[in-house]
Amino acid sequence: MNRPFDIHLEVTDMALSRGEDALLSDLSFAVGPGQAVWLTGANGIGKTSLLLALAELIPLDAGRADWILRDRDHDQDQRLRPAEALSFSAFRGPERSGLTLGEELTFWQRVKGDPLSLEDRLASVGLDGRATLPVAGLSAGQRRRLSLARLQLSNRAAWLMDEPLAGLDADGRNRVTQNLATHLDRGGIAIIASHQPIAIPGVEARKLVLEAAA
């Protein structure tokens, strides 16, 4: 398959805190095209905070996280802003939205220039026939499916996913992992915070167990 993405993440000596509590320290890792990292660890250890820091939604205490686009034709690298590199699927989706599911998704389709029709996009995540449902009334699993649809639309090389399997039935879990496999096959990368293993077809996600700061 054509691999349009050639993005790399390099995390160096990262330290994070929540208020006065230190979460992570001296964390370093790298991820390249076609690779996935499974973040796991105890409740409150900092998995979601790490995702937020990678997206520059919260500040680092120390270290750095670099999103790098490789240009092999010209043998040079370009540092990207997170907004250019990634799409973030939060654990809690837009359940406070006053829109219907169809209105919410149509908005993002127009922003991203989605070639699919609304019904086809809904069907791609198992929400066909549910366009008139209010977003505020979606179940946890339906919110996860909406988040997956927004990831599909993003056309970003990196996917940050917070508990993407939470609340999903077997069909929903299969859709998430199959979409991840397709994304990684295109050269994308994925950083996934999850208490349960992520079985991505054809890809073994690298397990990164987060531990409390020393």
The arrangement of strands across the sheet holding 189-193 comes to 86-89, 158-162, 189-193, 36-40, 206-209
pLDDT of res. 64:
96
* Burial of residue 125, with CB atoms counted within 10 A of its CB: 0-12 exposed, 13-18 middle, 19 or more buried: buried
pLDDT of res. 155:
87
3-state secondary structure (DSSP) of residue 15: strand
Mean pLDDT of 147-169: 92
CATH number reported for the structural domain that contains residue 184 in this entry:
3.40.50.300
pLDDT of res. 194:
94
DSSP 8-state code for residue 203: B
- CB within 8 A of 58, min separation 6: which ones? 16, 49, 52
| Residue 192 in domain | yes
| Residue 17 in domain | yes
pLDDT of res. 95:
57
**Half-sphere exposure of residue 161: CA atoms within 13 angstroms, side-chain side:** 33
For β-strands 62-71 and 7-18, DSSP reports them as antiparallel
pLDDT, tens digit, 9 for 90 and up, residues 68-80? 998 766 567 889 9
| Residue 11 in domain | yes
Domain count, the chain: 1
Q: Is the pLDDT of residue 208 over 60?
A: yes
Where in the sequence is the domain holding 66, given as residue range(s)? 7-96+157-209
| Residue 72 in domain | yes
- CB within 8 A of 77, min separation 6: which ones? 68, 69, 70, 71
- Determine the longest span between alpha carbons in the chain, in angstroms: 51
pLDDT of res. 92:
67
Q: Is the pLDDT of residue 19 over 90?
A: no
| Residue 144 in domain | no
Structure tokens at 150: 């927004």
| Residue 112 in domain | no
Q: Is the pLDDT of residue 29 over 60?
A: yes
**Rounded CA gap, 193 and 39, in Å?**
5
pLDDT band with cut points at 50, 70 and 90 for residue 15: very high
| Residue 146 in domain | no
Mean pLDDT of 58-84: 87
| Residue 131 in domain | no
pLDDT of res. 9:
97
Q: For the ranges 4-8, 141-145, 180-184, which has the lowest average pLDDT?
A: 4-8
pLDDT of res. 126:
94
Helices (H), 99-203: 101-112, 118-124, 140-154, 170-185
Q: For the ranges 4-8, 53-57, 65-69, 105-109, which has the lowest average pLDDT?
A: 4-8
pTM for this entry? 0.90
- Would you give the end-to-end CA distance of the chain in angstroms? 44
pLDDT of res. 2:
58
